[in-house]
């Protein structure tokens, strides 16, 4: 089809230039609201993105200098209010907004809910620092409330196995995102309290988007954590966003891994500390005893101690002397006594009737009696008498008895 | 829970006793008394450590609401909250 006579024929470049002029004059300054998508940040430092709503989209660019002034993280899906001017990029025949500023459009529904709940619970005192309870230093049993399939559980078990191999861990498996997750988490915390076997709880999950973490921002979970008699470590996500659970819990861990590091001490370190204390205990006592002994030695050598000890030694010597003298005296007395005894024995011997018999004397008794004859008048003729000699005895009959009265006269008896 | 002195308290008490003994400020009687107490604390601590026993379990709630634990096997996928 031929152009009509008089019709102006334009080159593409000319047309594009006119479009550009027209657009730029018509829209020197625009302010739009839309959602960020197709965010790209090449090395140049310029930021390219698409702004869209339900019905249309437009390219946008944020030059390096403007991008550097951003005070928040621009992300896909973010609702923003952006200002700038329209321009045409001639080589591609496309138009775009050159942005001079961009800011988040208010708060999303979730963020709003978060702020409201946070304010409410804060007023109720659920976040009070003085309510935070200390964690047990060495829990006998660690309760874990998390997804059985998530990385969080693996991280916790791995760290615990490294730090404290003989640990006792009890898992209460729950869903950590999606419909009903919050109720399950709250119930699990309550169940641990009913059960009573764990002395500290880790409640958490790995990182994720605000939506993924939402269960930990729900009131039912916050209440359950607050009501728990067992101290709780909250371990949600990767530190960027704080959750309500983090605020209510007795302790916040930035990640499940950190929670495991907080919950149990290093086993080897404990054993070392204990052994060290034992060694120092014994050494310190030895030192103390050594010190006491040294003091004792020192005191014993002191002048004050030497004087009395010298006195003691003098007394001891005197005692020894006395002792020796006493022994000697006693021995002498003993010898004297023995001599006297021997003399007495000699005299006794001399006086013994038996020794008289040895010399030829004899003793005569009336036979059958013990009566010794001293006077012939004691017997009459014909009577039997017994004569004791030095060796043996005789029995004989009196032929004649003639008394002459050794003591001046007893009458002869017949 | 809290039925007996905690490990931490005992270990701290033990270390305090060690420090006291090391200070040399005690009489011999006191030192002996501390030493005996230290030995007892050490024994209690060592027993607590020795009593720790590796167990990984799952807390389960039966249909009657009864809470029980059972071991979690190494390669097992832990059960979900019971779907009864």
Q: Does some domain include residue B2?
A: no
Chain A residues whose CB is inside 8 A of the B61 CB are 191
In the prediction, which pLDDT does A221 show? 96
Q: Does some domain include residue B84?
A: no
Mean pLDDT along residues A32-52 = 91
Instruction: Tell me the shortest Cα–Cα distance from A136 to chain B, in angstroms.
Output: 8
Reply yes or no on whether the pLDDT at A71 is more than 70: no
Q: Which residue of A has its CA nearest to B37?
A: A281
In the prediction, which pLDDT does A304 show? 67
Cα A19 to Cα A90: distance, rounded to the nearest angstrom: 10
Degrees, nearest 5: CA angle A195-B58-A202: 70
In the prediction, which pLDDT does A414 show? 46
Subunit contact B31:A191, Cβ cutoff 8 A: no
Chain A residues whose CB is inside 8 A of the B15 CB are 273, 277
Q: Does some domain include residue B76?
A: no
Per-position DSSP letters for A349-375, written without gaps between them = HHH-HHHHHHTT--EEEETTS-PBP-S
Mean pLDDT along residues A236-263 = 88
Indicate the pLDDT class of residue A51, thresholds 50, 70 and 90.
very high
pLDDT tens-digit readout, A291-343: 878 888 887 777 666 676 777 777 788 888 888 888 888 888 888 888 888 88
Mean pLDDT along residues A209-234 = 92
Subunit contact B78:A165, Cβ cutoff 8 A: no
Q: Which residue of A has its CA nearest to B66?
A: A195
Interface of B with A in 43-82 (CB under 8 A): 45-46, 48-49, 52-59, 61, 67, 69, 72, 77-81
Cα B30 to Cα B49: distance, rounded to the nearest angstrom: 28
Q: Which residue of B has its CA nearest to A293?
A: B28
In the prediction, which pLDDT does A407 show? 53
Subunit contact B59:A170, Cβ cutoff 8 A: yes
- Residue written as token pair 């008895």: A401
Reply yes or no on whether the pLDDT at B78 is more than 80: no
Candidates B6, B45, B72; nearest CB to A136: B6
Instruction: Tell me the shortest Cα–Cα distance from A174 to chain B, in angstroms.
Output: 6
- Indicate the DSSP class of residue A391: S
In the prediction, which pLDDT does A411 show? 46
Reply yes or no on whether the pLDDT at A354 is more than 60: yes
Chain A residues whose CB is inside 8 A of the B28 CB are 288-289, 292
Reply yes or no on whether the pLDDT at A380 is more than 60: yes
In the prediction, which pLDDT does A129 show? 92
Best residue in B12, B24, B28, B37 to probe A by mutation, most A CBs within 10 Å? B28
Helix B7-23 / helix B28-51 crossing angle, nearest 10 deg: 150
Q: Does some domain include residue B27?
A: yes
Cα B34 to Cα B16: distance, rounded to the nearest angstrom: 10
Chain B residues whose CB is inside 8 A of the A281 CB are 14, 17-18, 21, 35, 38-39, 42
Reply yes or no on whether the pLDDT at A391 is more than 70: yes
pLDDT tens-digit readout, A90-114: 888 889 999 988 888 766 667 767 8
Pair of tokens at residue A268 = 């080897």
> Percent of chain A, pLDDT > 70?
92
Which residues, other chains included, contact A224 with Cβ-Cβ below 8 Å and sequence gap of 6+?
A185, A186, A187, A189, A190
Q: Does some domain include residue B1?
A: no
Q: Does some domain include residue B22?
A: yes
Reply yes or no on whether the pLDDT at B82 is more than 60: no
A164 interfaces chain B, CB cutoff of 8 Å: yes
In the prediction, which pLDDT does B74 show? 57
Most confident residue range from A256-265, A387-396, B47-56: A256-265
Burial environment of residue A379 by CB neighbours within 10 A (0 to 12, 13 to 18, 19 or more): buried
Chain B residues whose CB is inside 8 A of the A184 CB are 81
In the prediction, which pLDDT does A325 show? 82
Instruction: Tell me the shortest Cα–Cα distance from A247 to chain B, in angstroms.
Output: 26
Subunit contact B78:A267, Cβ cutoff 8 A: no
A192 interfaces chain B, CB cutoff of 8 Å: yes
Give the sheet arrangement for strand A232-236, strand by strand. A251-253, A232-236, A200-205, A142-146, A168-173, B55-61, B67-71
Q: Does some domain include residue B24?
A: yes
Q: Where are the alpha helices (DSSP H) in A211-255?
A: 219-227, 244-248
Cα A358 to Cα A67: distance, rounded to the nearest angstrom: 158
> Percent of chain A, pLDDT > 90?
36
- What range does the domain containing B42 cover? 7-71
Range of lowest pLDDT (A42-46, A124-128, A386-390, B73-77): B73-77
Reply yes or no on whether the pLDDT at A344 is more than 90: no
In the prediction, which pLDDT does A405 show? 63
Q: Mean pLDDT over all residues of chain B?
A: 79
Q: Does some domain include residue B37?
A: yes
Quote the number of domains for chain B: 1
In the prediction, which pLDDT does A258 show? 94
ipTM of the modeled complex? 0.75
pLDDT tens-digit readout, A232-244: 999 997 656 789 9
Range of lowest pLDDT (A31-40, A93-102, A174-183, A290-299): A290-299
In the prediction, which pLDDT does B1 show? 42
Pair of tokens at residue A119 = 């304010």
Q: Which residue of B has its CA nearest to A184?
A: B81
Indicate the pLDDT class of residue B28, thresholds 50, 70 and 90.
confident
Burial environment of residue A72 by CB neighbours within 10 A (0 to 12, 13 to 18, 19 or more): exposed
In the prediction, which pLDDT does B61 show? 85
Q: Which residue of A has its CA nearest to B70?
A: A170
Cα A287 to Cα A284: distance, rounded to the nearest angstrom: 5
B7 interfaces chain A, CB cutoff of 8 Å: yes
In the prediction, which pLDDT does A134 show? 92
Q: What's this model's pTM, rounded to 2 decimal places? A: 0.54
A169 interfaces chain B, CB cutoff of 8 Å: yes
């Amino acid at each position: 089809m031929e152009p009509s006579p008089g019709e102006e024929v334009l080159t593409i470049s000319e047309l594009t230039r006119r479009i550009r002029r027209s657009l730029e004059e018509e829209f020197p300054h625009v302010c739009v609201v839309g959602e960020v998508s197709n965010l790209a940040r090449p090395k140049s430092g310029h930021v390219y993105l698409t702004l869209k709503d339900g019905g249309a989209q437009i390219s946008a660019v944020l030059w390096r200098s403007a991008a550097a002034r951003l005070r928040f993280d621009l992300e896909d899906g973010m609702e923003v209010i952006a200002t700038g001017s329209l321009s045409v990029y001639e080589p591609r025949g496309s138009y775009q907004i050159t942005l001079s500023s961009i800011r988040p459009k208010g708060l999303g529904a979730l963020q709003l809910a978060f702020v409201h709940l946070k304010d409410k619970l804060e007023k109720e005192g659920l976040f009070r620092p003085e309510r935070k309870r200390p964690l047990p230093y060495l829990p006998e049993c660690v309760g874990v409330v998390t997804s059985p399939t998530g990385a969080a559980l693996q991280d916790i078990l791995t760290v615990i196995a490294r730090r404290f191999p003989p640990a006792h861990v009890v898992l209460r498996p729950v869903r950590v995102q999606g419909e009903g997750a919050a109720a399950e988490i709250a119930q699990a915390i309550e169940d641990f309290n009913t059960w009573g076997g764990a002395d500290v709880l880790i409640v958490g999950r790995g990182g994720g988007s605000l939506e993924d973490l939402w269960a930990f921002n729900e009131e039912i979970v916050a209440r359950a954590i607050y009501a728990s008699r067992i101290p709780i470590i909250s371990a949600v996500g990767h530190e960027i966003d704080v959750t309500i659970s983090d605020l209510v819990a007795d302790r916040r861990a930035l990640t499940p891994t950190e929670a495991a590091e907080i919950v149990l001490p290093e086993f080897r370190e404990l054993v070392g500390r204990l052994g060290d204390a034992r060694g120092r205990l014994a050494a310190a006592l030895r030192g103390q005893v050594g010190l006491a002994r040294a003091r004792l030695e020192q005191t014993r050598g002191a002048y004050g101690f030497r004087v009395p000890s010298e006195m003691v030694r003098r007394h001891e010597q005197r005692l020894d002397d006395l002792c020796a003298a006493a022994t000697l005296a006693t021995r002498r007395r003993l010898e004297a006594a023995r001599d006297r005894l021997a003399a007495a024995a000699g005299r006794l011997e001399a006086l013994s009737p038996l020794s008289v018999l040895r010399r030829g004397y004899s003793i005569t008794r009336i036979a059958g009696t013990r009566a010794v004859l001293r006077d012939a008048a004691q017997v009459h003729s014909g009577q039997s008498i017994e004569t004791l000699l030095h060796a043996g005895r005789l029995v004989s009959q009196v032929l004649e008895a003639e008394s002459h009265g050794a003591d001046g006269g007893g009458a002869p008896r017949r | 829970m809290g039925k007996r002195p905690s490990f931490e308290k005992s270990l701290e008490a033990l270390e305090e006793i060690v420090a006291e003994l090391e200070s040399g400020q005690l009489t011999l009687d006191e030192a002996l008394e501390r030493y005996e107490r230290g030995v007892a604390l050490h024994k209690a601590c060592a027993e607590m450590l020795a009593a720790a026993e590796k167990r990984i379990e799952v807390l389960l709630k039966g249909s009657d609401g009864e809470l029980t634990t059972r071991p979690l096997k190494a390669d097992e996928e832990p059960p979900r909250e019971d779907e009864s």
